[in-house]
Structure 1
Amino acid sequence: MSSDRLNLREEYQKRQIQEILDQLDKDLVGLVPVKTRLKEVAALLLVHRLRKSLGLTSSNPNLHMSFTGSPGTGKTTVALKMADVLFRLGYIRKGHLVTVTRDDLVGQYIGHTAPKTKEVLKRAMGGVLFIDEAYYLYKPDNERDYGSEAIEILLQVMENQRDDLVIIFAGYKERMDEFYESNPGLSSRVANHIDFPDYSPEELLIIAKQMVEEQQYRLTDESANVLLDYIKIRKEYPHFANARSVRNAIDRARMRQANRMFNAGNKVLTKADLVTIQPEDILKSRLFTGQD
């Protein structure tokens, strides 16, 4: 390969980016728009890196991001993969992810916020800082709130140390939109906005089957149908958290399964008994019974 010619696919494979994207595809059901966007970002960064190697001038791309969507839609998992991509392409030194919320950044009295925020930033340097429910940093109705101080420190770092730290702000889309409208300086520094769609009931059933299998349990066909009905009903209730709510439902089904076997008295249990979640273990949920 001559000094002024580069094979993009070869570089892509050498950096093992496809390996990360393949793993993400395996780890997360659905989310096609998110996976497509992640691939686009990876391609942009690789092309920028190759341009730089050929002496073509261009400013470093703005890597700060916004992940919007409901809880349980894979935002933290994708953030981990993004950190890996950025590390393999040489955009961050360490490739680790530090996940925080408002409580980790904002103090409760004068002089408390700056040290807290700076300590978090120190831990995150060389990697990615993931701020979940970032809109809680800003409370315009409370004059004594110190969240704005944390935002000011973040703004300085986003501008002055963007080659050594990537910040991802995450939360519900509507509230994040309001957050950016209230903080134009912040909005202008976030270039990549990725929206995470809610999972369909069928996608959540696939996720549920994966969770059950990981825990060395199994669903019968009838149990799977009942669980799908449960998911469809639960999605209409408040505070539904996608994969997180499904995990909670499975945990409760396992508890009911254990109680069912415990109450069976002297019955000799087989391996099949111990690993199988029966329809009744799901049907006893308060969503079906109106109690519990």
Structure 2
Amino acid sequence: MAVKITFRDNLPPVMKGQSRIRPANAQPENEKVKEILTELDDLIGLGTVKNLIYELQAFIEIQKCREKLNLTSEPTVLHMIFSGNPGTGKTTVARIVGKLFKEIGVLNKGHILECERADLVGEYIGHTAQKTREQIKKALGGILFVDEAYSLARGGEKDFGKEAIDAMVKAMEDQKNNLVIILAGYKNEMDFFIESNPGLRSRFPIHIFFPDYSAEELYAIGESMLSKRQYELSPEAKITFKKKVQYTNSLHPYSGNARMVRNIIEKTIRKQAVRLYQKAKPSREDLIQIKEEDFRD
């Protein structure tokens, strides 16, 4: 019987720059695992998500230790449900999980194959199973990440989406040691999808909810995006950017979270380019600095 792993609510959240929740005498990690977990730690927010990923890692490692000592170990059923609004980090975390699972010996490749309904569902009887098997074959050794997975059940019993679900369930049995499937989508839709299919509920024991980012987290994400692209905000631009993020988020709280910030950043960089293009020889500082006027619509 698969063990359902849930997050312990009494654990404090992990923010960017803080250590993960782990005992001081925890088993040493190899350098590659450390790099992967640092990448996870460096994500803005997502405290409960980070803690649960660490719990999964600890669970897997301890089961391996029990096996080595000929103790009974729990089956590691690692298929997951990622629920939350768009732009809350689901795909990013799935990629990190794939790399982590490779390094700790769960998957032999650790890559992630992203797909949606159109990649799985065909136009006639038998076509869907074939398309789904093709995607599963590409995902073997890694993660099959199905976005908006609830759309597979929208058409009712006669919809070909059910055929895709059946093909995935079969693969979960046939390839249980060589494949992890993550179904992702909006929380309410995913809850309904899983509750309406008891077979799926038992096969996906790990449910991770990705909360929306706060305005402060969205601002930090924006600053991080700019820094990686070698841009800096002037003091006045910082104030304007904060106000713009807060205002846009208040108008469209579910408009994409980090994607909304990315759109603002990309538009601002274009505005800066137009401003600088009018200069004969922009300096290095000019090319780096984002000014308040670059945020004007």
TM over 0.5: yes
Matched, 1:13 2:29: yes
The aligned residue for residue 91 of structure 1 is 106
In 1: Cα distance, 2:182 partner to 2:214 partner: 25
Shift of 1:227: 1.0
Letter in 2 for 1:171: G
For residues 90 and 198 of structure 1, do their structure 2 counterparts lie closer, same or farther at Cα, with a shift above 3 Å needed?
A: same
In 2: Cα distance, 1:149 partner to 1:268 partner: 61
In 1: Cα distance, 2:102 partner to 2:281 partner: 54
Q: Which has the higher Rg, Structure 1 or Structure 2?
A: 1
The aligned residue for residue 120 of structure 1 is 135
Which stretch has the larger CA shift, 14-23 or 153-162?
A: 14-23
Local SS of the residue matching 2:236: helix
The aligned residue for residue 38 of structure 2 is 22
The aligned residue for residue 161 of structure 2 is 147
**TM-score, structure 1 length as denominator?**
0.87
Matched, 1:77 2:103: no
Shift of 1:66: 0.9
Letter in 2 for 1:193: H
Q: How far does the alpha carbon of each residue in 1:42-82 deviate from its partner, in whole angstroms, 9 at most, with x for none?
A: 00000001101111123422110111111111111211111
Q: Which stretches of structure 1, 4 residues or longer, exceed 3 Å deviation after superposition?
A: 8-12, 14-19
Letter in 2 for 1:48: Q
The aligned residue for residue 292 of structure 2 is 279
8 Å CA contact 1:64–1:192 kept in 2: the answer is yes
The aligned residue for residue 196 of structure 2 is 182
Letter in 2 for 1:70: N
Letter in 2 for 1:164: N
For residues 260 and 62 of structure 1, do their structure 2 counterparts lie closer, same or farther at Cα, with a shift above 3 Å needed?
A: same
Shift of 1:126: 1.2
**TM-score, structure 2 length as denominator?**
0.86
Where structure 1 has 5 or more consecutive residues not aligned to the other structure, the ranges are 1-7, 286-292
Shift of 1:268: 4.5
For residues 146 and 12 of structure 1, do their structure 2 counterparts lie closer, same or farther at Cα, with a shift above 3 Å needed?
A: farther
In 2: Cα distance, 1:34 partner to 1:21 partner: 12
Matched, 1:33 2:26: no
8 Å CA contact 1:25–1:35 kept in 2: the answer is yes
In 1: Cα distance, 2:216 partner to 2:134 partner: 43
In 2: Cα distance, 1:12 partner to 1:195 partner: 29
In 2: Cα distance, 1:192 partner to 1:101 partner: 20
In 1: Cα distance, 2:26 partner to 2:49 partner: 24
The aligned length equals 273
Shift of 1:41: 0.6
Shift of 1:10: 7.2
For residues 165 and 159 of structure 1, do their structure 2 counterparts lie closer, same or farther at Cα, with a shift above 3 Å needed?
A: same
Matched, 1:65 2:80: yes
Counterpart selection for 1:159 from 173, 176, 179: 173
8 Å CA contact 1:12–1:46 kept in 2: the answer is no
8 Å CA contact 2:155–2:161 kept in 1: the answer is no
Q: How far does the alpha carbon of each residue in 1:86-126 deviate from its partner, in whole angstroms, 9 at most, with x for none?
A: 11221112111111111111112233211110000001111
